[in-house]
């Protein structure tokens, strides 16, 4: 098998692999019980008439080693769009080989080429290896910001107010 890393955009035929990586990421983050995504739902969301996100897949030869899911957001302060990295995952046995860095660099190039004013993502507080890695690339944590989320029954209740 060739040792060269190949990063390419996902296509509809990759949906089962994407879902595999979603589940692997959830296991790593100790959130496996929260995955409700399905192949059908991902196919519609990612490759339907109005794609909601994009996916990059990373391979060494023909072996899949990781993925990144991203989409555009918008900064009113900058008056232009940004790129939000929703998830990135490299198989644990493949870490330390530069594959995660290669995915992040690819995303940074996409953000730059598309005229984005920002490239952002979130990391779990306990994931110090990720924090250290992101800092080594020049990323800075937004310590003055706290993320808020409304989901499930709370979202339904809020929508009815």
Total count of residues recorded for the chain: 161
**Given 28, 70, 99, 134, the catalytic residue:** 134
pTM confidence score: 0.92
Note if 28 is an active site residue: no
CATH architecture of 5-159: 3-Layer(aba) Sandwich (3.40)
Using a 10 angstrom Cβ sphere, with 0-12 exposed, 13-18 middle and 19 or more buried, the burial of residue 3 is exposed
Per-position pLDDT tens, the chain of length 161? 457 999 999 999 999 999 999 999 999 999 999 999 999 999 999 999 999 999 999 999 999 999 999 999 999 999 999 999 999 999 999 999 999 999 999 999 999 999 999 999 999 888 898 899 899 999 999 988 888 889 889 999 999 99
Give CB contacts under 8 A, 24+ apart, made by 72-76: 72/114, 72/116, 73/120, 75/117, 75/118
Are the C-beta atoms of 99 and 58 separated by less than 8 Å?
yes
- The domain limits of the chain are 5-159
Are the C-beta atoms of 66 and 94 separated by less than 8 Å?
yes
């Amino acid at each position: 098998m060739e040792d060269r890393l190949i990063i390419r955009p996902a296509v509809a035929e990759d949906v089962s692999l994407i879902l595999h990586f979603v589940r692997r990421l959830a296991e790593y983050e100790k959130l496996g019980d929260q995955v409700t995504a399905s192949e059908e739902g991902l196919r519609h969301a990612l490759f339907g008439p109005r794609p909601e996100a994009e996916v990059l897949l990373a391979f060494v030869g023909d072996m899949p080693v990781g993925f990144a899911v991203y989409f555009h957001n918008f900064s009113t302060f900058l008056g232009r769009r940004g790129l939000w990295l929703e998830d990135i995952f490299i198989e644990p046995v493949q870490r330390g080989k530069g594959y995660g860095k290669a995915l992040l660099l690819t995303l940074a190039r996409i953000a730059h080429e598309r005229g984005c004013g920002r490239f952002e993502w979130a990391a779990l507080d306990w994931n110090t290896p990720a924090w250290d890695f992101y800092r080594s690339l020049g990323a800075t944590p937004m310590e003055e910001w706290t993320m808020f989320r409304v989901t499930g029954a709370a979202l339904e209740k809020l929508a009815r107010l």
